[in-house]
Amino acid sequence: MKYIYNKITIVLAVTLVFFYTACEDDDSIPRRGKPTITVVESAKTVDEGQSAVYDFNVEYPVNESIFIRIDVLDADGNPIPTTEPIGDPNSGNGYAALVLDDINVPYNTWFDSGFFSYGYLGGSGYVAEIPAFTESFSLSIDALLDSVADEAPETYTFRLTGVSTAAAVIDEEITLTINNVNACIWTLVTNDAFGDGWNGGFITATINGVDTNYAASGEGSTFEIGMVDNDVYSFSYTPNGGAGSPGWEEENTYTLTAPDGTEFSDGPVPAAGEITSGTNICPN
């Protein structure tokens, strides 16, 4: 009897060792808990007008999206508001995003991400969605141009945490230091006499080879276009036909003002083609 008992014990021990080894080597077996997300480099320095990119690693991939909350912190380490109330949250238009000085976090606010329906903490934070099965990813933050010269570098701190439905664990702080550059603003004012926006016409600003199109919305729109010294630029107007349908160009006017106060205006029926071009030099 003792001999039989010993045989059973040995077989059971061998089985347990085999099962443990198999579990350890087989990544298809679900793991308990949530993977940890870590940042590769937490401190970045960029110039105004540039974007900082932060790289992250996921301990192991999961089969669902990961949602990460990004809070902008004040000097005391508290989240600053990123939205303001404008209506009933249950209507889907309860909070509007605030425009922050110096920085742009290019992700939806907590409200626009739909987390208000989960009782998510309101008023602060953005939410970045990371696709399922991701093992590494990047998040970016934009440093905005302004026309204030000779500013000292400014440092912003961001706290990254998982939302209540997150499939992973993250508790990181990252910093962004922004160096001042000699920047200035071009102002573009677009008007539509009828008040229904430009019907297909647009102005293209090309800065260092990158095109951005602008057009009037409603009765008109104002755009601020930032540049730094030695940016190569051109502005041009593209009509949608002439007077009458479909373009109704007789309704369109614009004024483009350079940083030194020089104005370029045209319309009704603005001329097609180049408005101005050159190399930007900001006034002292």
Nearest-angstrom CA–CA distance, 136 and 222: 40
- pLDDT by residue, tens only, the chain of 284 residues: 444 444 434 343 434 443 444 444 444 445 557 999 999 999 999 988 889 999 999 999 999 999 999 999 999 999 998 888 787 666 656 778 888 888 999 999 888 887 765 555 455 789 999 999 999 999 999 998 776 665 688 999 999 998 866 789 999 999 999 998 888 899 999 999 999 999 999 999 999 999 999 999 999 999 999 888 899 999 999 998 777 778 899 999 999 999 999 999 999 999 999 999 999 999 87
In the block, which residue shows the tokens 């009828």?
194
Q: What CATH topology corresponds to 37-179? A: Immunoglobulin-like (2.60.40)
Options 3.30.460, 3.30.70, 3.40.50, 2.60.40; which CATH number does 183-279 get? 2.60.40
Query: Rounded to two decimals, what is the model's pTM?
Result: 0.65
How far apart are the C-alpha atoms of 214 and 254, rounded to whole Å? Answer: 11
Let me know: does 46 contact 52? Beta carbons within 8 Å: yes
Cβ(253)–Cβ(259) below 8 Å:
no
Indicate the residue type of 208: N
Burial 44-59 (b: 16+ CB within 10 A, else e): bebebbbebebebebe
Residue position matching structure tokens 């110096």: 102
Residue range(s) occupied by CATH 2.60.40.10 in the chain: 37-179
Contact 248, 201 (CB under 8 A): no
Give me the amino acid identity at 244.
G
